[in-house]
Amino acid sequence: MRPFAYVRATSLQEAADAYAAHPGSRYLGGGTNLVDLMKLGVETPGALIDVSRLPLAEIRELPDGGLRVGATVRNSDLAAHPLVRSRYPLLSRALLAGASGQLRNVATTGGNLLQRTRCGYFQDLSTPCNKREPGSGCGARDGLHRDHAVLGHSEHCIATHPSDMAVALAALDAEVELYGGAGTTRRVAAAEFHRLPGDRPEDDTVIRPGEIVTAVLLPAPAPGAVSLYRKARERASYAFALASVAVVLDLDPGDGRVRRIALAFGGLAHRPWRAAAAEARLTGAVPDPGAVRDAVDAELARARPLRDNAYKLPLARHLACDAIAELTGAHPGSPATP
């Protein structure tokens, strides 16, 4: 870790100014990923602009019934918030499926979105990685890549995004609010916030230099919609997803057809993977097991598994089909969550 300057910002504008004034700086939230990467030498900021004490730690109900989650709300507080638990249990579940109690106490909403891949080659300075060092190559492609992407990867990068929370946000049609300086903000759909690697794997997200995540906005939940987050991992806790799925399902109680479905996968791609093809097939359809399987297969037909990770396709298919079955009551096991 090289020495760095430290600035504690007390306002958004102050943070943006400090960022501009210090080339090569990084915003510091909870730091659970950034400090980790600094120790590894992956991140070498000249200055840290500490935004963790900005007044962005509020969860506020919006007039339209949605929720505004400040960027510095800690993951544990977000998961425990009564309105999140009652209206967006999917989000609580996703958060609680990630990391550990002590990490969730520190990690922020904004930081969770901006966390970087856990690809071992990205973390190891002695191996090539286009994300860490553009143009150096991809160590994972020729190396061991059991945990890597099956969807949307490129010849330059096969990393996955590690967040559980972001998968839930993608399924919930959340938006990410960004402060761009001089009082300007913009909003980006959570599902569009993270990028596919293409030929610029160094850019994880669509965030522009100096922009600060200020909030996540959750739309009001559809009455009667049910949701679920399921994650498969190598140990029972404290492990990243091999694959995960977030589903929000709104069924017409009259004819049992799908009014709306949101299906997002984690652990399969460089970003939370919103399964648009599957959603389109299921919308207006009766979600019987056969239809669901066909829809999920249509989505996964786009996958290009690598030597070590083809298992992710049946795993994702199982997860999605089972989750939807559980939500429609077709599941032989437990009833659908409210």
Cα of 143 vs its chain's centroid, Å: 25
Helix H segments across 1-158?
Answer: 12-21, 34-40, 75-80, 82-87, 89-96, 101-106, 109-114, 120-123, 139-142
Which of the ranges 22-30, 149-157, 189-197, 249-257 carries the binding residues for another protein, by CB under 8 A? 22-30
Positions 306 through 325 that interact with another protein (CB under 8 A): 311-312, 314-315, 318-319, 322
Positions 116 through 145 that interact with another protein (CB under 8 A): 118, 120, 124-127, 139, 142-144
Helix, strand, or coil (residue 69): strand
d(CA 138, CA 128) in angstroms, rounded, equals 5
Positions 23 through 42 that interact with another protein (CB under 8 A): 28, 30-32, 35-36, 38-41
Q: Is 111 in the site for another protein (CB under 8 A)?
A: no
Looking at the Cβ atoms of 27 and 193, the one nearer to another protein is 27
Closest CA to 213 of 111, 115, 117, 116: 111
Measured over the CA atoms of residue 177, residue 179, residue 183 and residue 186, the dihedral's sign is: negative
Looking at the Cβ atoms of 199 and 234, the one nearer to another protein is 234
Closest CA to 264 of 131, 88, 70, 94: 94
Nearest 5 degrees, angle CA 37-CA 43-CA 46? Answer: 130
Count of C-beta atoms within a 10 Å radius of residue 243: 26
Least distance in angstroms from the C-beta of 142 to another protein:
5
Q: Is 55 in the site for another protein (CB under 8 A)?
A: yes
C-alpha dist (Å) from residue 173 to 29, 53, 123, 305: 24, 27, 31, 27
Which of the ranges 16-24, 61-69, 251-259, 282-290 carries the binding residues for another protein, by CB under 8 A? 16-24
Least distance in angstroms from the C-beta of 12 to another protein:
11
Looking at the Cβ atoms of 195 and 293, the one nearer to another protein is 293
Looking at the Cβ atoms of 222 and 311, the one nearer to another protein is 311
State both tokens at 42. Answer: 């992956």
Size of residue set near another protein by CB under 8 A: 91
Looking at the Cβ atoms of 82 and 135, the one nearer to another protein is 82
Measured over the CA atoms of residue 5, residue 10, residue 16 and residue 18, the dihedral's sign is: negative
Per-residue mark of binding to another protein, 243-262 (x: CB under 8 A): --------------------
Which residue in the set 26, 230, 270, 271 belongs to the binding site for another protein (CB under 8 A)? 230
Q: Is 285 in the site for another protein (CB under 8 A)?
A: no
Which residue in the set 68, 195, 200, 233 belongs to the binding site for another protein (CB under 8 A)? 233
Q: Is 163 in the site for another protein (CB under 8 A)?
A: no
Q: Is 329 in the site for another protein (CB under 8 A)?
A: no
Q: Is 270 in the site for another protein (CB under 8 A)?
A: no
Closest CA to 309 of 268, 273, 278: 268
Cα of 20 vs its chain's centroid, Å: 27
Looking at the Cβ atoms of 10 and 257, the one nearer to another protein is 10
Which residue in the set 61, 224, 256, 337 belongs to the binding site for another protein (CB under 8 A)? 337
Q: Is 183 in the site for another protein (CB under 8 A)?
A: no
Q: At what angle do helices 312-328 and 289-300 cross, to 10 degrees?
A: 150
Q: Is 60 in the site for another protein (CB under 8 A)?
A: no
For strand 212-218 and strand 67-70, is the pairing parallel, antiparallel, or unpaired? antiparallel
According to DSSP, the residues that pair with 215 across neighbouring strands are: 70, 177
Q: Is 105 in the site for another protein (CB under 8 A)?
A: yes
For strand 59-61 and strand 47-50, is the pairing parallel, antiparallel, or unpaired? unpaired
Least distance in angstroms from the C-beta of 219 to another protein:
20
Q: Is 283 in the site for another protein (CB under 8 A)?
A: no
